[in-house]
Structure 1
Amino acid sequence: MKMNAMLRKDAHLLVIGGARGLGFELARAAAGQGARVTVTGRDAHAAEARAAELGPRARGLACDLSDDAALRRLFTGIDVVDHLVITAIERDKNTVADFRADAAARMMLIKTVGYANAVAHALPKLDPDGSVVLFSGLSMWRPSPGSTTMSMANSAVIGLVNSLAVELAPVRVNAITPGSVAGTEAIDNADPVMAEFFETQRQRTPAKRLPAPGDIVAAVLFLLTCPGVTGENLVVDAGAHLL
């Protein structure tokens, strides 16, 4: 019998970056379990529209991780956060040979300082029995074409998790590191160079399959609900890193 980790029905899950992609799939699963869910996006109307798809116990709010004032506004309207997940990302295709410092700086701001600042603003609202999950990425170990900045940022997320797990205890803090995920926008709309990269990743996996969005959701729910896990980085790449 397949069993998924379950959130409390009265728990409040906040997914920053949850108006699209894997964040939205997580929010959908949590709402299906009866949890209260808040999803954010940079555009308030878009976030509200996505939240409406999740039912009456969900809401959508605006949030830009590069804007401290926006983070303050977000948490002013929130009572308690049982679980915080940050999936938000600024995609930046950058190389050292053709380095665009302005684009790199914005991306790093969002996924390093922005992640830390979001947790700082959430801290007064975090339940002591709650948890935080930050999204990293496999590019810190296996760079993809143009992933220079992303590789740096994903590595930084792991360092941040190590620090927060100690500093925020008893709140638990973990990271998840997805590999290439089948059925996502990045793969479905990949250019030929990236499509070849993703196929290589698939071939690297022992079972010759990439993880699906549902695999990532199940892994995040495990991290959110397992009281014995903190300071960990859970790699969900179907074993691609082994070969």
Structure 2
Amino acid sequence: MLMDFVMYSALGVALGAMGGLFGIGGGLIAIPVLGLWFGLDQQMAQGTALVMSVPNVLVALYRYNQRNRIDWRQALPLVVMSFCFAWLGAMLAVGLDQRVIRWGFVGFLLAITLYNLIKLYGTVGHNPKGARYGWPWFGVLGAVAGTTGGLFGVGGAVVAAPVLTSVFGTSQIMAQGLSLALAAPSTSVTLLTYAAHQEVNWLMGIPMAIGGLLSISWGVKVAHALPERVLRGLYCGFLLICAGLLAIKA
């Protein structure tokens, strides 16, 4: 029992650091790891990963806001709409076949990676300072990101971050801060929905959450020290690894 706690905590440390680095709470990589190496089915892996993701997202959001103040006029429509639509996505997820969810997740990650790579290598680097569009469009993005976050248990940040940089014209750091603001309520309501349907392994999730809290601030610090293009490139590689692990499991 003690060895299991130590092992899950160590896993949480590694995942928390990556979550802080990429602004996604660590759940994205936790899902394929829990499915491939620990034998959890897709819904159970997503629900368990959320136990770690929720506190990690909250801490990462606090750290990001300390270093780069989040514009809450932009964040509020993201937060409200993602909260509402995350519940709908989670209710859909718990009723679907796990293979459908897993292959949908693989395709989702590959599409996000391709989108990021096109924007990374297809345009000249620049240093945007703000967003091109107003608050109604932030609400639309919040609805889409919240739905996918609830469906796949990743909080919506993985959708929001590339759209904010490529379509809305924000910097990567600004996008990750806004994505964390979006993910904070959506991960919480998604976790509650999965828990209500007995799709959470708390004995694994709680020590992972403790480990993640120990390392996520370090990941945020590294993210602010890296050049913009390097951070985006690492993010693409990270998504490809996640997709590959899920495809092996599927």
Bigger relative contact order, structure 1 or 2 (CA pairs below 8 A, ≥6 apart): 2
Determine which structure has more spread, i.e. the larger CA radius of gyration. Answer: 1
More helix by share: 2
Q: Give the TM-score taking structure 1 as reference length.
A: 0.28
Q: Give the TM-score taking structure 2 as reference length.
A: 0.28
More strand by share: 1
